[in-house]
Amino acid sequence: MADGLRYPAAVVDRVRDLAHSLLDVQIAEQFNREGHPSATSTPYAAKMIQWIRRGHRIPPAALQKPEELTVQQAAKHFEVSDGSVYYWIERRLLQARRLHGGRPCWITLSASEDGNCGTGYANQAESKMAKYPKPLPAEV
């Protein structure tokens, strides 16, 4: 790595081991609980773990279940934008599993949701979304 901050091989190896099953934020929390000092002498943060992973080419945890879709995959499946999928998740038209209350979020389609894909699902969602219109951007 061509930078000033270096982490001991033991820390990098531990990140490599934990990255199989934990998110970066969870690894940082675990390091902080265990009292490991960071290279900057501050508590570990998810960004530090992410930096270590990227610098040492450690892939993130593969926590997506085989039957789950990403937002991008669901958008492609329904032929809509990613924003529409997030909107449907917010309105509980699609159920999503989120880790640590944020992203990534994974979607498991029920038989009824999958059967209503494409225009059928979009029409159904449009009728439900009419109750929750998106605000128009403020005019300048």
40-56 pLDDT tens trace: 889 999 999 999 999 99
pLDDT score, position 134: 52
Q: Tell me the mean pLDDT in the region 103-128.
A: 61
**pLDDT one-digit tens code per residue, 99-114:** 766 667 888 887 655 5
107 in Cβ contact with 85 (< 8 Å): yes
Cα 51 to its chain centre, rounded Å, is: 17
Q: Is the pLDDT of residue 1 over 70?
A: no
CB atoms within 10 A of CB 124: 14
Separation CA 1–CA 23 (nearest Å): 23
DSSP letter (8 states) at residue 103: S
